[in-house]
Chains A and B, each alone.
Chain A
Amino acid sequence: MKYLLQRLAFYAVTAWAAITINFVIPRLMPGDPVQALINRFQGQLSTKAIDSLYTLFGLDDERSLWQQYLDYWGNLLRGDLGTSFAFFPTGVGDIIAESLPWTLALMGVTTLISFVLGTGIGIYAGWRRGSWLDGLLPVTTFISSIPYFWLGLLAISVFAVQWRVFPASGGHDASVVPGMTWGFISSALYHALLPAITIVISAVAGWILGMRNMMVSVSSEDYVLVAQAKGLSERRVMFSYAARNAILPNISNFALSLGFIVGGTLLVEMVFSYPGIGYRLFQAVGAKDYPMMQGVFLIITLAVLAANLLADLAYMALDPRTRREA
């Protein structure tokens, strides 16, 4: 219990830090960014947008920094993330709420698949160290060095342009109305397949390497030797003795590298114009839509924190020592 409370406190502090960073970044930037933006848009911005810009950058002099900070928190707690420039009257929160399910579905499923697949292959490759499976290592190294988005470009050019097996962009057919209908779901799945395969291929390599190295370390422990000396079946020794102990660091690594995975997934969405949060971020960067960018960053960070908390709970369930310390 104490362990859980400690973790909760840590995540609370981290969330506060992320929100504060988000508040501080625009205020630290040199020059008058608002004037630069107004010039850039050449009169296309309404006075309301300009006002909100000045508030965003903290350039309205009437308020103290502290007052601005309190206002910022007040808006956040009311769920108000500001107004998007690019889609002007629409609130950032609404746009994010619309794109979030796409990202969550794509990222959740692919992360789960690549974790299970990579850990499984890693267990086997680590156990059979020195066999032909070691030949996989250079291949996985190479794959894990490829940027996600480039693999996405390659996948599009081969499977969407060359062979036209999969659609090159979008989340569903333009002719289908989103809803809980079979037509929409099958169309969404069809569109998600190529991005999903791209993410799994890029992400699985890292898990294989990590798990393999842990397996190699663990399988030379004495308790594995004892298990074998007792005459237990190889399967049992491999899974119940070696893998069971080797997987724990892999789970805490999983939590820690989530941020990295999220970054990669965002890029895949950008390449495939997949209607998730990453594509929104991409559009926002192109349009200099600052409130949108900040909103996306905040939501991503909070989601990663939540996922980390889940990983911690899983760790607690798997590792009795964290419970004993309480």
Chain B
Amino acid sequence: MAQPTDEAIATAEPATAEPAPAPARRDRTRFLRNPKTLTGLVILAGFVLIAIIGPWIAPHDPSARGPELLQPPSWQHLFGTTQTGQDIFSQILVGARGVLVVGFTAALIAGVLSVIVGVTAGYLGGLGDDLLSSVSNIFLVIPGLPLIIIIASFLPDTGDLAIAAIIGLTGWAWGARVLRAQTLSLRNRDYVQAAKATGESTPRIIVFELLPNLTAVIASGFIGTVIFAVLANVTLAFIGVADISDWNWGTVLFWAQSNQALAQGAWWWFVPAGLCIALLGTALALINFGIDEFINPRLRSPGKEDRAVRMRIGFTPVVRRDYPRDAAPAAAAPPAGPDAPDRPDAPDRPDGAEAPDAPEARGGTAPAGAADRPGTAGTDTGKESHR
């Protein structure tokens, strides 16, 4: 469910992700200092480690049957045993690899497709854009999970890579849509125009001028797809579509369900796998929040330097440095027409770079211009989200 959030932000703020080179470096450390991102990265690293060394550190063979049937957790079997005496802890350890491999492979495929479709559509415009965005909208509207289930159950081979390919080939539309919106807002920037004027070729402009500025959006889409792919993969294994001879967390749940673990009160059989899925999903979502806040400064929770501003009841909790950024252009220039693709001077300024605290200036002049803003600012949003 992290994806709707990204979408909302990308459409609402079509112009924010353009860090100028110098402050970008400072902002990057800010990205890593964000406690959410850090927590997410640490948990993810833990799972990656398990995925790599899991099969070696597993205390038992996950498929080997043992004499202790359906035992609750003990020191011998940390997560208990199954009905046939298999060690669930080992199954979880060994299964991590399949989950992560499918998640990242699928996201890689979907990411590449979404960049190709989204950036091309956004940059070219015209008929090509109409065609490509219709295709991605169609893929967006067709319910993904049932489609994946149908395709997977028709396939004779449903190993990890086949599943990853299906998820990747059907799950690129979200990313393409967000990237297209972002590219639309970038393509008329001065530096792109300048590159065009100096005669750079279109592929070169896309690769060297546009893509670097889309990195954050691409990364956020990638992680969103990993979350979706992990869930889809586990689901496919759980309902028995994917190959159940490979261990992954969904397979554990499949055996738990088909052996009536619930009715026998064997909670240890299905709780650990679900917790692992949820923990992995949370870690990825946290990283995505970090990226979102990096792209959209308004979402940042007040850090140490912002604590000086106290939130009061009856007052919009606005961090003070935001005022001049939004208010100044509105006061200086008339509101942009509804067809202006972006407001070039409004949100580009890197956070706090040259924003003197000037609430007095705002008080006098801004409201007059600001009264018209809802319409114009909102029109961008409305158009973007409904094309």
Contact = CB atoms under 8 A, between A and B. Distances in A.
A250 to B, nearest CB: 7
A205 B4 CA distance: 11
B326 A293 contact: no
Interface in A165-219: 168, 203, 205-206, 209-210, 213-214, 216-217, 219
Interface in A211-251: 213-214, 216-217, 219-226, 228-229, 234, 237, 242, 245, 248-250
A121 to B, nearest CB: 14
Nearest to B286: A141
A249 B11 contact: yes
A188 B176 CA distance: 42
B381 A249 contact: yes
Given A141-B285, A249-B8, A226 B381 contact: no
A147 B277 contact: yes
A172 B301 CA distance: 48
A266 interface: yes
Contacts of B24: none
Contacts of B153: 285, 288, 290, 293
B372 to A, nearest CB: 9
Nearest to B314: A234
A260 B2 contact: no
B1 A209 contact: yes
Interface string A142-168: 101111011101101100111000001
A42 B290 CA distance: 56
B142 A18 contact: yes
A253 interface: yes
Contacts of A319: 382
A73 B155 CA distance: 24
Given A130-B311, A210-B5, A322-B382, A33 B156 contact: yes
Contacts of B315: 228
A217 to B, nearest CB: 5
A262 B144 CA distance: 9
B141 to A, nearest CB: 5
Given A213-B292, A293-B150, A220 B262 contact: no
Given A145-B281, A217-B296, A223-B371, A130 B317 contact: yes
B366 A219 contact: no
A217 B13 contact: yes
Interface string B135-175: 00110111111110111011110000000000000000000
Given A144-B2, A220-B326, A14 B141 contact: yes
B79 interface: no
A214 B8 contact: yes
Contact of A252 (B151, B378, B386): B386
Contacts of A257: 1, 3-4
Interface string A15-52: 00110011001100111010010000000000000000
Contacts of A308: 141
A270 interface: yes
Interface stretch (B26-34, B62-70, B184-192, B230-238): B230-238
B265 A161 contact: yes
B267 to A, nearest CB: 6
Contacts of B9: 213, 217
Interface string B116-142: 000000000000000000100110111
Given A130-B301, A253-B7, A300-B143, A145 B285 contact: yes
Given A153-B270, A168-B262, A297-B147, A285 B134 contact: no
B257 interface: yes
B370 A226 contact: yes
Contact of A219 (B134, B234, B263, B318): B318
A282 B239 contact: yes
Contacts of A31: 156
Contacts of B273: 150
A214 B277 CA distance: 28
B17 interface: no
A64 interface: no
Given A130-B311, A297-B146, A322-B382, A209 B5 contact: yes
A294 B154 CA distance: 10
B61 interface: no
B274 interface: yes
B225 to A, nearest CB: 13
Contacts of A242: 316
A260 B146 CA distance: 10
Interface string B289-320: 10010001011011000000001011111110
Nearest to A162: B265
Interface string B365-387: 01101110110011101100110
The 7 closest A-B pairs by CB, nearest first: A145-B281, A263-B145, A222-B370, A206-B1, A259-B143, A150-B274, A144-B1
27 contacts: A14-B138, A17-B138, A127-B316, A127-B317, A130-B302, A138-B286, A142-B282, A145-B281, A149-B235, A153-B256, A153-B257, A153-B262, A153-B274, A213-B8, A220-B298, A249-B381, A252-B386, A253-B8, A257-B1, A259-B141, A259-B142, A260-B144, A262-B145, A285-B241, A294-B150, A301-B143, A322-B386
Interface of B: 1-5, 7-9, 11-13, 134, 137-138, 140-147, 149-151, 153-156, 227, 231, 234-235, 238-241, 253, 256-257, 262-263, 265, 267, 270-271, 273-274, 277-282, 284-286, 289, 292, 296, 298-299, 301-302, 311, 313-319, 322, 326-327, 330, 366-367, 369-371, 373-374, 377-379, 381-382, 385-386
Given A25-B154, A153-B270, A222-B366, 8 more contacts: A14-B138, A14-B141, A18-B138, A147-B238, A149-B238, A162-B265, A216-B298, A290-B154
Interface of A: 10-11, 13-14, 17-18, 21-22, 25-26, 29-31, 33, 36, 127-131, 134, 138, 141-142, 144-147, 149-151, 153-154, 156-157, 160-162, 168, 203, 205-206, 209-210, 213-214, 216-217, 219-226, 228-229, 234, 237, 242, 245, 248-250, 252-253, 256-260, 262-264, 266-267, 270-271, 281-282, 285-286, 288, 290, 293-294, 296-297, 300-301, 304-305, 308, 315, 319, 321-322
